[in-house]
Structure 1
Amino acid sequence: MNITIVAGARPNFMKVAPIIKAIERVNKSEKIISFRLIHTGQHYDSKMSGNFFEELGIPEPNANLEAGGGTQAEQTAAIMVRFEKELMENRPQIVLVVGDVTSTMACSITAKKLNIEVVHIEAGIRSGDLSMPEEINRMVTDSITDHFFTTSEHANENLLKNGVPQNRIHFVGNTMIDTLMANYDRLKNPNISVNGKALEAKGYFTLTLHRPSNVDQENQFIEIMDAILDGTGDYPIVFPVHPRTAKLLENLNIKDPRLCFVEPLSYLEFNFLVKNSKGVITDSGGITEETTVMGIPCLTLRNNTERPETITVGTNELAGTDPDKIRAYLRQIVKGEWKEGSIPPLWDGKAADRIVASLLRIYVEKLSSVY
């Protein structure tokens, strides 16, 4: 079986790493699966992607399409043109895409136009918010996918409602959690200090913000930051700043002795920070999955989520962008009054093994029927 695995942005690397390792385990006795790892270059900032291959123990990509930068349309077009050339020179049986970034959608379309089957890892999740580019990427990708590998029963239900046959939906769990569990004992202290004082476990909050709906409007961004500072009491707030957000912060005068801006951290450093936080404030979906498994209180500054299990089962809550709600939720965390939460089904560190076993069952049988 011959697979092309696509990774384009930081979250993708976390999701493909355990799949590559599961393939390597299967190949130990006999090489059954061959693969090419393609980095589209969608995240072209080395701080966002450069050290992931070494940190996560996966091989360097067979090719980097270097399609970073530009508008959404320009980046989509660049990925499609360069990925088409890659597929024509190295045609696989399957193209495997993960998540919901531009690369996911662009590479799926390109593969299907060349009559190559598409497998989507993390299929079926939906926020219902078409203002999010990721939601469009999910919908388009799932409309042309051949086999759907899901992280939750919610995702299964979404696909069934869209008319996807049950036998093409495979509930396997969450490869993001595979990576977290595999590296839990390797997490690395970033040695951050605030005002000359080292951070203490459960003695600070971690903050990440990057969505345009939160950071593009200056007044709203300032109101959100004021509410966060007000609601977190005397706790320091560590803010690893996304490159996009960093540019916006340059124009704002948001300063406070408790607020510590740091550059993007490596995977092992960032999750050390999360693991030892009093609470996490974010507008990222993936982080809510990690906080759920680690049992860390998490407040999401969005009005919707494509990962409802992190709320119904896990430690996450939605606050939207209402400053009063943000303050009230944060004060609950400060007082130690947050819900306990638990871990969703199949988030057990074995999703990648289930994915590879399913691929072998599906595609080896398909080959047998042809020959």
Structure 2
Amino acid sequence: MKVLTILGARPQFIKAAPVSRVLRQEITELIIHTGQHYDANMSDIFFDELNIPKPDYNLGIGSGNHGKQTGEMLAKIEEIILKESPNFVLVYGDTNSTLAGALAAAKLHVPIVHIEAGLRSFNKRMPEEVNRILTDNVSSLLLCPTETAIQNLTNENIKDGVYNIGDVMYDAVLYNKTLAESTSTILEREELQSKDYLLITIHRAENTDDVDRMKSILDAFSQIADKKVWPIHPRTKKKLEDYGFQLDQIPNLQVIEPVGYLDMLSLEMNAKKIVTDSGGVQKEAYFAEVPCVTVRDQTEWVETLIEDANILTGTDTTKIVEAVQKQVSPSYTPVFGDGKTAEKVLALLKEYEN
């Protein structure tokens, strides 16, 4: 059996690590890196840290408008599928790389396996939502992380090949948590004390591409007295520079370069609260049992909202400040599986092939 795995963005590298580890024990896996995240700090470091095999193909697409980026990926992935004749094309999540891989495979009648199927924010203005819906509708195996995702697909009359296998990111966190604790020196390097800072991550286009939304978010950060640490995404940094925002005017804000996965886990585990617009970081906060504030209007991870473990604020300045200051004591229930998701992926591939 040969599986072609499509990766392109940081969260996908994290998700792929435990799955690749299991797949390669029994079958052939080839990795295509589209180059969607092309900064070394956002890409190469994850292959090194997580012991993911180096990509067999690197398309080097880089950034660009959604149509151009997706179209270039589609054309190049199609060529590779024709050359390699895989039994399956495996895609993760909701990026342009995911959609391009799914469309290329669908046109060539290669079965598509979508890991993290069934997620919905119910906001089609988000490019990620469009990517999810389209990918789910052409996939043969829809591997869902939660019962909510199963229900979302049922509501859309997608019922064949649908399985709840748990969340592969939980596999990754369990595997890497101890390693992060023993090897990461990010707290020492940045002179941080555990539970003495807020961790910030902002990268979603719905926020970064809207000057008013970014202004509201930054106004909230200015009003929050706590120490704030922000490993800034390259695209976010450029947008803020284009808008003329001066981050050095925000009190007690420590802006740092993007960090590797183990350092990020360490920052998450030691934060007293996390402020993010990232789906992955919302879950990692939940796994680390660290309260989260999500500066989006919807979340596809509704399970994290129970007992204010995660609070949705949109970009309203007052709501962000109030959510950060709110004292919460949620109980973190195991709604994301048992940490054996990768093994279930392999078992389903073997079952489907037979």
Whether the TM-score (by the shorter chain) exceeds 0.5 is: yes
The answer to whether the 8 Å contact 1:7/1:40 transfers is yes
Larger radius of gyration: 1
In the alignment, what sits opposite 1:13?
13
Residue 345 of structure 2 is aligned to residue 355 of structure 1: yes
Per-residue deviation at 1:95?
0.5
1:162-202 CA-to-partner distances (Å, cap 9, x unmatched) read 1122x5111101111111110101111214667xxx21110
Change (3 A) 1:98 1:314: farther
The answer to whether the 8 Å contact 1:314/1:344 transfers is no
The answer to whether the 8 Å contact 1:282/1:298 transfers is yes
Which one of the candidate residues 186, 197, 201 is aligned to 1:190? 186
Per-residue deviation at 1:228?
2.6
Residues 293-308 of structure 1: matches in 2 within 5 Å?
293-308=287-302
Code of the aligned partner of 1:212: A
Code of the aligned partner of 1:162: E
Please give the secondary structure, in 2, of the residue aligned with 1:95.
strand
Per-residue deviation at 1:248?
2.5
Structure 1 window deviating more from structure 2 (109-118 vs 245-254): it is 245-254
Per-residue deviation at 1:257?
4.1
Residue 114 of structure 2 is aligned to residue 124 of structure 1: no
Residues 94-173 of structure 1: matches in 2 within 5 Å?
94-165=88-159, 167-173=160-166
Please give the secondary structure, in 2, of the residue aligned with 1:51.
helix
CA RMSD of aligned residues (A): 1.6
Residues 256-275 of structure 1: matches in 2 within 5 Å?
256-275=250-269
Residues 304-343 of structure 1: matches in 2 within 5 Å?
304-312=298-306, 315-332=309-326, 337-343=327-333
Q: Size of the alignment, in residue pairs?
A: 348
In structure 1, runs of 5+ residues without a counterpart are 28-32, 366-371
Code of the aligned partner of 1:213: E
Change (3 A) 1:19 1:211: same
Measured in 1, the distance between the counterparts of 2:210 and 2:77 equals 35
Per-residue deviation at 1:359?
1.4
The answer to whether the 8 Å contact 2:187/2:193 transfers is no
Please give the secondary structure, in 2, of the residue aligned with 1:13.
helix
Code of the aligned partner of 1:16: A
Measured in 2, the distance between the counterparts of 1:312 and 1:80 equals 39
In the alignment, what sits opposite 2:62?
68
Per-residue deviation at 1:350?
1.0
TM-score, normalised on structure 1?
0.90
Code of the aligned partner of 2:6: V
Which one of the candidate residues 269, 280, 285 is aligned to 2:279? 285
In the alignment, what sits opposite 2:240?
249
Change (3 A) 1:217 1:3: closer
In the alignment, what sits opposite 1:30?
none
Measured in 2, the distance between the counterparts of 1:142 and 1:217 equals 28
Please give the secondary structure, in 1, of the residue aligned with 2:4.
strand
The answer to whether the 8 Å contact 1:80/1:106 transfers is yes
Residue 206 of structure 2 is aligned to residue 213 of structure 1: yes
Measured in 2, the distance between the counterparts of 1:176 and 1:314 equals 21
Which one of the candidate residues 176, 180, 202 is aligned to 2:173? 180
The answer to whether the 8 Å contact 1:117/1:146 transfers is yes
Code of the aligned partner of 2:233: H
| Structure 1 moving runs of 4+ over 4 Å | none
Measured in 1, the distance between the counterparts of 2:98 and 2:316 equals 32
Structure 1 window deviating more from structure 2 (345-354 vs 60-69): it is 345-354
Measured in 2, the distance between the counterparts of 1:148 and 1:219 equals 37
Measured in 1, the distance between the counterparts of 2:86 and 2:240 equals 44
Code of the aligned partner of 1:119: V
1:293-338 CA-to-partner distances (Å, cap 9, x unmatched) read 1100100001101111111377211011111111111111xxxx21
Please give the secondary structure, in 1, of the residue aligned with 2:163.
strand
Measured in 1, the distance between the counterparts of 2:178 and 2:221 equals 31
